[in-house]
Structure formats: C-alpha cells, structure tokens
C-alpha cells in the first residue's frame, strides 16, 4: 500500500538582482490555488526575507491552513553562515514568520539540505531556539549535499529534535531523492510510483518543490549560490510539474509535517559521532550550489 505523501514547498526567490522581475508570488499562487481545489494542506518552508516582501501571500498561506516553517533568513547554506550567524538569523527568521502568520513556528529545513557532519552544531541551535523538528537531512551522499549513514526513516537527535529525512528511492543501485527538485522533473513517473508504493516501513514521505519549478515561462538566469550548469538544471522540464506532484500524492495525502511529527510515537535516537560517515570529496566541492 502506498504511503501518504505530504506536500512541502520551499518558498524562495533565487534572483540575484532586485531589478529582475519577481515571479515568486505568481508561481506560488498557482500552487496554492491547485492545493485549495483539492483541499490539500501542506508545509511551506519560507525564506523569511522573501516572505517579508510578500505579507499578503503569507497571510493567504496561513489562512488556507498550511503550516509555515523556516527555510532560512536568506537561503544561505549553513556552512557559509557559521554557527553564530546561523543562530542570529534563525531567531530572526522565526520571528518574522510568526509575526506574518500568527502561527507558532516549529519546523526547519536547511537551505540545500546543508545540515551535514561539519554543520551539526545547527542541531544545538535549533533545539535551543525551540524548534521541534527538522527536515534537513539527505541520508545519502550526492554530488551536492547529504549525510550518509543517517537513518532513512524519522529519528530523534540527542538534542530532542525530531528529524524527518528526505525520502529516497532505489534506482539502478543508487538512492535518489525522487520527490522534488530536478529529480522530480526528469525521472520517469514509474520511479516515483515505485518509491511511494515501496517506501520502507515507518517512512514519512514529502515532496520538496520550489515556486520557480511551476513556472515554465520564467526567463533563464544564473542563481545566487549556483553556477550556470546548476541553474540550467533548475530551469529544465518545468511544464507538468503540478501534474507530477499530484501524481505523487494520488494514493494518499499526508497532513502538514507538524501534524505528522505530533502523531509519531517513540523514535530511535541517532548520535552523529558514532554513526556518521565521511562525505565523498567531490560532494564537498559541489555542495554549495543551489537546490536542483
């Protein structure tokens, strides 16, 4: 039987100049309208500085019953921020989003899944600020990010924080984060179907989409924190993204992640020092690029 899939969106704006046309409100509204038609509530991980420029949109997100969670103050990967700035910026991001929505914010997703062994100080920071869960871990090595050796199903960090790791599917011997980004846009649908129907027991499945992925008419540009190649990958095959997301959720839709976390019973604890593995050297060079 297929596992429920929760809709999550990383609300961000990768323009490098404010003089570029902003299409984030347009693209996000497309998605919100479709979710409302289908009575689907999800979790919207917001870059707080982008959210602050779109207060009306944020109010609408909250009014539609979606959970709002933090995706950074400015979408800077954690290794580029360092612990002190991460602490300051995450407090600020949480305050901004709580003021905009009236919701108490309890969830966090690191930009570019950038919680890795070298940034594990972020777990202390998140617990200290009062987050109850994170969905920031890719439990496999990829060219850009990931923490191989972490569990593939929900677990608890020693700090008490619950982690809902990025769902993976096995495909030609590789583990692939198939429910979002470029993987969602280029993989054939049978791979997604297989992932959803054969998810390991105890999995929590979620999409990770971005507003720009629903906007095939946006002109190509090179992202902040991304080179030409990564930006090009982010630009391809956007038409049909809504259909792919809907197909992924066809069998069963999960509630916002905050509600999923509240329903989980006892979870195994994962202690990084004793279990984490070293990342591949190539991954370290490429991980700072933008989401794809």
Structural contact between residues 86 and 78, judged by C-beta atoms closer than 8 angstroms = yes
Joined tokens for residue 100: 């905009």
Shortest gap between Cβ of 136 and Zn ion (angstroms)? 11
Q: How far is Cα 70 from Cα 90, in angstroms, rounded to an integer?
A: 8
Q: How far is Cα 65 from Cα 59, in angstroms, rounded to an integer?
A: 10
Nearer Cβ to Zn ion (218/270): 218
Structural contact between residues 225 and 289, judged by C-beta atoms closer than 8 angstroms = yes
Structural contact between residues 72 and 291, judged by C-beta atoms closer than 8 angstroms = no
Nearest to 46 by CA among 56, 29, 35, 61: 61
Nearer Cβ to Zn ion (12/163): 12
Joined tokens for residue 90: 């995450």
Residue of closest CB approach to Zn ion: 10
The burial class, CB within 10 Å (0-12 / 13-18 / 19+), for 184 is buried
Q: Is 13 in the site for Zn ion (CB under 5 A)?
A: no
Joined tokens for residue 61: 């997100």
Given 10, 54, 213, 218, the residue binding Zn ion (CB under 5 A): 10
Joined tokens for residue 220: 């190509």
Shortest gap between Cβ of 95 and Zn ion (angstroms)? 20
Give strand pairing partners of 134.
108, 163
In the shown chain, the binding pattern of residues 60 to 99 toward Zn ion, with x for contact by CB under 5 A and - for none, equals ----------------------------------------
- Mark the segment that binds Zn ion (CB under 5 A) among 3-11, 80-88, 191-199, 222-230: 3-11
- Mark the segment that binds Zn ion (CB under 5 A) among 32-40, 110-118, 150-158, 185-193: 110-118
Q: Is 215 in the site for Zn ion (CB under 5 A)?
A: no
Shortest gap between Cβ of 111 and Zn ion (angstroms)? 5
Nearer Cβ to Zn ion (5/9): 9
Nearer Cβ to Zn ion (12/67): 12
Total residues contacting Zn ion by CB under 5 A comes to 4
Q: Is 291 in the site for Zn ion (CB under 5 A)?
A: yes
- Mark the segment that binds Zn ion (CB under 5 A) among 6-14, 18-26, 169-177, 235-243: 6-14
Nearer Cβ to Zn ion (8/248): 8
Structural contact between residues 199 and 167, judged by C-beta atoms closer than 8 angstroms = yes
Shortest gap between Cβ of 47 and Zn ion (angstroms)? 7
Radius of gyration of the chain from Cα atoms?
17
Residues in contact with Zn ion by the rule CB under 5 A: 10, 12, 111, 291
């Amino acid at each position: 039987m297929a596992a429920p899939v929760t809709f999550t969106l990383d609300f961000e704006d990768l323009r490098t100049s404010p003089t570029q046309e902003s299409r984030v409100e347009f693209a996000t509204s497309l998605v919100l309208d479709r979710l409302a038609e289908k009575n689907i509530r999800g979790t919207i991980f917001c870059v707080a500085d982008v959210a602050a420029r779109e207060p009306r949109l944020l109010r609408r997100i909250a009014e539609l019953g979606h959970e709002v969670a933090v995706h950074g103050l400015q979408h800077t990967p954690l290794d580029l921020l360092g612990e002190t700035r991460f602490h300051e910026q995450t407090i600020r991001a949480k305050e901004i989003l709580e003021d905009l929505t009236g919701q108490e914010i309890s969830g966090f997703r690191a930009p570019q899944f950038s919680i890795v062994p070298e940034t594990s100080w972020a777990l202390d920071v998140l617990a200290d600020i009062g987050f109850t869960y994170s969905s920031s871990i890719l439990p496999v090595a990829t060219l850009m990010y990931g923490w191989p050796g972490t569990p593939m199903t929900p677990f608890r960090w020693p700090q008490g924080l619950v982690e809902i790791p990025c769902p993976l599917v096995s495909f030609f011997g590789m583990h692939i984060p198939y429910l979002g980004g470029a993987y969602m846009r280029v993989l054939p649908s049978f791979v997604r179907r297989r992932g959803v129907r054969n998810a390991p027991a105890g999995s929590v499945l979620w999409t990770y989409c971005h507003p720009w992925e629903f906007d095939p008419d946006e002109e190509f540009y090179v992202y902040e924190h991304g080179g030409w190649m990564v930006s090009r990958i982010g630009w391809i095959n956007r038409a049909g993204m809504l259909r792919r997301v809907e197909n992924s959720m066809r069998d069963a839709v999960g509630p916002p992640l905050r509600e999923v976390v509240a329903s989980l019973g006892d979870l195994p604890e994962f202690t990084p020092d004793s279990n984490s593995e070293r990342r591949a050297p190539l991954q370290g060079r490429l991980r700072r690029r933008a989401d794809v």
